[in-house]
A and B are shown apart, each in its own frame.
Chain A
Amino acid sequence: MIEVEGTLKSRLAVWLVVTVSALGVLLLVEAYFSAQRAAERAYDSQLEAAALTIAEAIQWEKGQPVVEIPSAALQILATRHQERVFYAVLDADGHTVSGNLDLGISPDWRRRVSSQPTWLNDSYHGTQWRLYGRELDSAGWETQDPVQIWVGHTMSGRDALTEALFEHAVTRFVVMVLLAGILMLLAMRVALAPMRRLRHQLRQRDADDMRPLEARVPEEMREMAETLDSLFTRQREGREALLRFTADASHQLKTPLAGLQTTSELALKSDSPDAWRQALTEVHGSAGRTSRLASQLLSLARLRHAVEASATSRIDAMSLLHETTFDWAQRDVSQAHDIGLAPLPAAPQYIQGEAWALRELLGNLIDNALRYTPPGSVITLGAVCHAQTLELYIEDDGPGVSPETLEHLHRPFERGGRQDTEGSGLGLAIVDSIVRRHEARMQVESAEKGGLRVRLLFPCLTRHEER
């Protein structure tokens, strides 16, 4: 039983939401860090520019570095976010030539800056600062000591820019997801249109319309359409079979009933008790045949419709064959024939099946053989073991049937081209149904001695399945 809740659309939507959110989290984390990097780059370059501007203002006077801090450098440092600013110009010994805050530039930092310009994050009185230091080699008349320039500012501009960039990224992402979702819905509508048309067509069908769909559908749905077509075909066939069966059954029942009517009418017109007696005898015989016909019809109908029944068990086919053969051999109807068993395999052979159905199967075959062969014929039952299958067979030395008729034999009311027997024509049809229920195969062929041979091939229970 397939159980899929909800619509295909919601399933697709859930799938989309889950994957997109997982992907989105990753993307947004990446976006946040890249926004942070971008903001850092943008503002670090301002620190650099301010440091260069200050470097430009450094001069040597009497062996001492002198700097006249340019206002522009401070404005560059402050940025338009009005950061608090820090600057310091240190001489070679680390003494402050000029500066505003005492951020405490450590000797370690000074060493790092002496090799290359450096950016640093530092905390000062609970505020985060971004610092930049670079060393300047400047030539004076008396001394040529290097001078270090340190600049820094607070980080509200960076935070604001990061936030803004991140917000943009989030907005872009959300818009993209919404657009993708809408497009997805549209695409689903377009893609699922054939399915909707198919559904529409199926819904509008009449209950007994079993024609093929004749729909041109996309690749993915072709299989389903074909399956539907074959389902329709099977239904049509089943329906036709049922109609034929009903028509045949009615016909079969009508003939003996009409005979009964004629006989009883004739008897009623007569005044002779002898005629009455004879008529009653005929009526009795005819009623018996009709009753048998009706019971065969019933059992056939039951076999065909009781698909669900699965009260199967492991059955020893040999003893079943044995019992059934002897049961029939002792009956009155078989006294004119010679019913016997061919030599059977010594070991029990197990098959999976229903005992009553298998007995019915064998009984019908024996009954058929009795009815369609002249008295004195030899009827032989037997079993042969094959690798995968167990073969039960029954053969006679009667007149047999023509090859053309062979393939129709399993149809109901087919009498092998003979109208001279008392058979209903239902025997092999019942056999056929039972064989199908047991997933076995039936082969009808001409026997070596000239009669008919019916072979039933049952799947063997493997050793493994035997418990």
Chain B
Amino acid sequence: MSIRRVALVWLLGALAPSLAWADNPLIVEAALDREVAAPLLDAFEAAHPHIQLTFRDRSTLEVDARVADADDPPDVVISSAMPWQMSRVNEGYAQRLDSPAAQAWPEWAKWRDEVFGFTFEPIVMAYRLDLSRHMMPPKTHADMHTLLTQHRETLRDKVTTYSPVRSGIGYTLFQQDARYTTRFWDLVAAMGAADTNLEANTRSMLEGLSEGRYWLGYNLLGSYAMVWAQSHPEVIVQVPQDYSLVMMRMAFIHRDAPHPAAARAFLDFLLGREGQRVIAGETPLFSVRSDVVGPYTAQRLRDQVGERLYPIPLNASLLAFVDPSRRTAFMDRWQREFRRLSHPAPAPSAAVTEPRIDKTPQR
């Protein structure tokens, strides 16, 4: 044992200088807030000191565009725009990862062993304490619809949610909502009637709530909202009691990754016990692994909220969301429903001219 340890120390001593000088870069293109991910990145750099990590924090659209950049492909691609990530993988832009961590990764959170959902972020409602002074705060989607119908005037201009046009995540969440029930469209109509404000990201919604501009927010990223609520006591986070969608950030190694070994090391770290432990303990992204303990784990969330968590399925059905004609049809319907109650005469279906993913950073 001692001989081994001595040998190991000697080996490290001999290798250390060469490792330090090794030119071993790694380029990660991510739609993930650097501040949120900082503990994770620090832990990776500590575990792999010889890899020079370049973490480029961009919007989902930019990340998606970088994937197709043939001249300067990134090593690892991370994005929360699940359908677009899936589409890129289906186009063959990902390479397979055959490591023990990838093999052990739960089936429902990976596809083709090429792309992995490595976070578990619930979608929540959030309200300002002011709301509870006027009415019973909503606990379910049906409550939300009832409130919007019964207190339309009180809530006018005080409700916020994602813009499906400007936000890829918002679009994905509404698509998923619409898949579960057609009553979702009544909710959209009710939100339209209450002159709901459409924001491009969760941060704007949270800021609005804290400032008092908004009283009620729908479909916020729980990961950000829960952290926000800790420092902003006026904001209450409510995980819907009927069902709560769960979004997963998806990571894959680019097919033409210039530094595949480092990329594999990074993904192995993300999926491995160490990376997931950091996610569970030091970020609000929630760990997927059931063998990791910390304040932010999927298991703990399930224990708190029960079995009403519905992860957006990480499979080929996501590809339907990026189908152009389906997207057009959905947006047409959205616009129609949103204006149904406020403008009884349906407006001519405005062609969606905006880009398919929100241009502003989406976190």
Contacts and interface: CB of A to CB of B under 8 A. Distances in A.
A68 B325 contact: yes
Interface in A68-86: 68-75, 77-78, 82, 84-85
Contacts of A98: 323-326
Query: Chain B interface secondary structure, helix, strand, loop or mixed?
Result: helix
B329 A68 contact: yes
Residue with the greatest number of chain B CB neighbours at <10 A, chosen from A69, A70, A101, A125 = A69
A282 B92 CA distance: 129
Interface stretch (B44-52, B193-201, B311-319): B311-319
B12 interface: no
B325 A74 contact: no
Interface residues of A, number: 21
Interface in B328-351: 329-330
Interface string B296-326: 0000000000000000000111011011111
Given A71-B179, A101-B90, A101-B91, A85 B325 contact: no
Contacts of B316: 71, 74-75, 77-78, 82, 85
A82 B90 contact: no
Contacts of B87: 100
B232 interface: no
B92 A125 contact: yes
B323 A78 contact: no
A70 B319 CA distance: 10
Contacts of B183: none
A82 B325 contact: no
Contacts of B325: 66-69, 97-98
Given A66-B329, A98-B325, A101-B90, A85 B317 contact: no
Contacts of B326: 67-69, 98
A250 interface: no
A310 interface: no
A72 B92 contact: no
A85 B325 CA distance: 17
A127 interface: yes
B114 to A, nearest CB: 9
Nearest to B112: A82
B175 to A, nearest CB: 9
B112 A72 contact: no
B111 interface: yes
Nearest to B323: A69
Contacts of A72: 317
B317 A75 contact: yes
A106 B179 CA distance: 35
Residue with the greatest number of chain B CB neighbours at <10 A, chosen from A67, A68, A71 = A71
A77 B228 CA distance: 42
B133 to A, nearest CB: 42
Given A84-B112, A101-B91, A74 B324 contact: no
A223 B179 CA distance: 87
The 3 lowest CB-CB distance pairs between A and B, nearest first, are A78-B316, A71-B317, A98-B325
Interface of A: 66-75, 77-78, 82, 84-85, 97-98, 100-101, 125, 127
11 contacts: A74-B316, A74-B317, A74-B319, A75-B315, A75-B316, A97-B325, A98-B325, A100-B87, A100-B323, A101-B90, A127-B92
Given A73-B320, A78-B315, A97-B325, 7 more contacts: A70-B320, A74-B316, A75-B315, A84-B92, A85-B319, A98-B323, A125-B92
